[in-house]
């Protein structure tokens, strides 16, 4: 399948800074990596199935599981359609919250915008009716950044009823 | 263009002997409904044979066919397989043909200009004596429809009948009918829905099948009147596909309605993306299929 060779390389020099960030984030507290899965346009269906299974297992109620599945799908779809054409999802659980991080493999497949850093709002617009707008609606937290090594989108789903701003264990 | 539709069920002649091989129960129901609707509209007698006439009537009623009223006037007859094609001693082609000829004679005597007979053939899956005569029945039906003002639609489940039987039976028909299908893979199916008119999505819909969805919607909105997007068997739809559906709805004249039949989770998604604020949209929640 085309695109599998674009799997992100954790050892890639341009990714190392962002990745270090993620490991630090995960290494804190009781984090447990539940899923680490590469995807491209041919495996989005499998990605959704894996997220659904893990979210149910993590104890998210059904409607929140549906929300998580669509949120991850939309982030992955952005990586496939507007980013590198492939990417990687990591999903973990900490203090009852489900964290997902979607990385695309680097510069856009088309070559446009390559190397432009900073916020990616220009490339991934948060417009009403668009995928990212929906992600922002259903996720408790969302952040999207791009660097020379690619784009990273992270979302957090807190256990029902918890206010994310006051529930930090720190 | 839609693929795999050899003849559209809506274009069958009045002496057709049509074979409907279906993969999903919805297909049998939908194409039978179209066959029945058009027969009733033409003033013909319509006979529907199935294992459960009551269930069949209820399902036709959901599809906007006034089955009860038509049965009350005698224009429509709902028959159980056991009271029609299958006799008390099992199956014989002669006995089954005798029943069919009686139906034709009755309809003529009562003044109907023609008769349409829809046969759900799933009775033939049960072990019974004489079932080896099934091809003889199909041959005799083929010979009987010519010039008789009778058309017959035989529904065969392609997942349950063995391929050898289907290969033997199908060529004995004058037409093969199937739902016009825009997309079909193990994850998603997009096909035309005949009654009520529109399209049917089953499985999981995302942007990868956008082209097929655009084609299906484009054809659907060209029909007159209201259209239904039946998503009762759809378990996932992404934002770009929702947008495509709502854009199509927004393009409709305000006198027309796009009915979105979907499960509660999908209904929520459409509402989140603003579909419920469009005057042309009617969101209808269903539990399933």
The answer to whether position A151 is within a domain reads yes
Residue A7 lies in a domain: no
C-beta atoms of B240 and A77 within 8 A = yes
Domain that holds residue A116: 14-26+33-157
pLDDT tens-place string over residues B3-55: 334 788 999 999 999 999 998 888 999 999 999 999 999 999 999 999 999 88
In a domain, A22, yes or no: yes
Domain B9-177 has CATH 3.40.50.300: yes
Rounded average pLDDT over B81-94: 90
pLDDT of res. B244 = 96
Q: Does B235 touch chain A (CB under 8 A)?
A: no
In a domain, A1, yes or no: no
In chain B, where the domains are located = 9-177, 181-285
Q: Which residue has the tokens 């007979």?
A: B117
CATH of the domain at A80: 3.30.565.10
Q: Quick check: A32 contacting B, CB < 8 Å?
A: no
Report pLDDT digits (tens) over A91-136. 999 888 999 999 987 655 444 443 444 455 555 566 666 889 999 9
- Closest CA–CA distance from residue B202 to any residue of chain A (Å): 14
Would residue A6 count as lying in a domain?
no
Q: How many domains does chain A have?
A: 1
Specify the pLDDT at position A82. 83
What's chain B look like in SS3?
Answer: CCECCCECHHHCCCCCEEEEEECCHHHHHHHHHHHHHHHHHCCCEEEEEECCHHHHHHHHHHCCCCHHHHHHHCCEEEEEHHHCCCECCECCHHHHHHHHHHHHHHHHHCCCCCEEEEEEHHHHHCCCCCHHHHHHHHHHHHHHHCCCCEEEEEEEECCCCCHHHHHHHHHHCCEEECCCEEEECCCEEEEEECCCCEEEEEEEECHHHHHHHHHHHHHHHHCCCCEEEEEEEEEEECHHHHHHHHHHHHCCCCCCCEEEEECHHHHHHHHHCCHHHCCCEEEEECCCC
Q: For residue range B120-155, what is the model confidence (pLDDT) as tens digits?
A: 999 999 989 999 999 999 999 999 998 889 999 999
Structural domain includes residue A125: yes
Tell if the CB–CB gap between A130 and B239 is shorter than 8 Å. yes
> How much is the average pLDDT of B88-116?
94
Residue A29 has pLDDT above 70, yes or no: no
Residue in chain B closest to A138 (alpha carbons) equals B272
- Tell me what the pLDDT averaged over chain B comes to: 93
Torsion, Cα B237 B243 B244 B246, to 10 degrees, reads 110
**B contacts of A134 (beta carbons < 8 Å):** 239, 269, 272-273
Which of A45, A70, A128 lies at the smallest CB-CB distance from B274? A128
Per-residue pLDDT tens digits for B239-270: 999 999 999 999 999 999 999 999 999 999 99
Does the residue A118 lie in any domain? yes
Q: Is residue A169 part of a domain?
A: no
Q: Which CATH class is domain B181-285?
A: alpha beta
In percent, how much of chain A has pLDDT > 90?
40
Least confident of A37-46, A147-156, B203-212: A147-156
pLDDT confidence bin for B288, thresholds 50/70/90: low
């Amino acid at each position: 399948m085309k695109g599998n060779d674009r799997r992100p390389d954790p050892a890639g020099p341009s990714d190392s800074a962002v990745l270090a960030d993620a490991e630090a984030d995960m290494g804190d507290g009781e984090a447990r990596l539940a899923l680490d899965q590469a995807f491209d346009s041919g495996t989005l269906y499998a990605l959704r199935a894996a997220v659904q299974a893990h979210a149910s297992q993590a104890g998210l109620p059904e409607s929140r599981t549906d929300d998580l599945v669509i949120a991850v799908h939309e982030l992955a779809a952005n990586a496939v359609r507007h980013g590198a054409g492939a990417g990687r999802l990591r999903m973990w659980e900490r203090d009852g919250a489900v964290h997902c991080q979607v990385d695309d493999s680097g510069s856009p497949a088309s070559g446009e915008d390559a190397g432009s850093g900073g916020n990616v709002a220009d490339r991934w617009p948060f417009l009403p009716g668009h995928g990212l707008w929906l992600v922002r609606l259903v996720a408790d937290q969302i952040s999207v950044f791009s660097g020379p090594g690619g784009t990273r989108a992270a979302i957090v789903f807190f256990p029902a009823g918890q206010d994310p701003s006051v529930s930090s264990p720190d | 263009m839609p693929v795999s539709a050899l003849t559209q069920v809506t274009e069958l002649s009045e002496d057709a002997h049509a074979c409907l091989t279906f993969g999903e129960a919805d297909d049998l129901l939908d194409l039978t409904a179209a066959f029945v609707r058009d027969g009733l509209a033409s003033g013909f007698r319509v006979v529907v044979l199935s294992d459960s006439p009551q269930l069949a009537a209820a399902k036709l009623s959901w599809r906007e066919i006034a089955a009860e009223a038509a049965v009350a006037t005698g224009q429509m007859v709902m028959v159980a397989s056991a009271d029609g094609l299958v006799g008390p001693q099992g199956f014989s082609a002669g006995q089954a043909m005798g029943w069919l000829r009686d139906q034709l004679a009755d309809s003529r005597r009562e003044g109907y200009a023609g008769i349409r007979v829809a046969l759900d053939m799933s009775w033939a899956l049960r072990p019974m004596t004489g079932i080896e005569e099934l091809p003889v029945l199909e041959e005799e039906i083929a010979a009987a429809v010519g010039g008789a003002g009778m058309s017959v639609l035989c529904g065969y489940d392609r997942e349950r009948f063995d391929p050898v039987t289907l290969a033997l039976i199908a060529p004995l028909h004058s037409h093969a009918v199937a739902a016009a299908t825009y997309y079909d893979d193990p994850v998603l199916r997009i096909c035309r829905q005949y009654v009520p008119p529109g399209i049917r999505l089953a499985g999981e819909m995302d942007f990868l099948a956008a082209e097929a969805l655009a084609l299906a919607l484009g054809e659907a909105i060209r029909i007159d009147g209201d259209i239904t997007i039946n998503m009762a068997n759809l378990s996932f739809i992404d934002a770009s596909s929702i947008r495509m559906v709502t854009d199509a709805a927004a393009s409709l004249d305000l006198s027309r309605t796009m009915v979105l039949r979907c499960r509660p989770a999908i209904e929520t998604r459409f509402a989140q993306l603003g579909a419920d604020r469009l005057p042309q949209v009617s969101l209808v929640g269903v539990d399933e299929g």
